[in-house]
Amino acid sequence: MVQNHRESPSYPVFRGLQRPLEFMMLRGRYIYWGAGTVIGGIVGFLGGYLIAGYILALFFAFIIFSFGGVMIMVKQKKGLHSKKEYNGLLIFTHSRCFYKKW
- State the residue range of the domain holding 73: 23-80
Q: Is 28 part of any domain?
A: yes
Q: What is d(CA 33, CA 45) in angstroms, rounded to the nearest whole number?
A: 18
Q: Is residue 37 part of a domain?
A: yes
Distance CA 23, CA 32 (A): 10
Total domains in the chain come to 1
pTM over 0.85: no
- Model pLDDT for residues 6-33, shown as the tens digit of each residue: 666 677 766 666 666 777 777 777 888 8
pLDDT (0 to 100) of residue 24: 77
SS3 63: helix
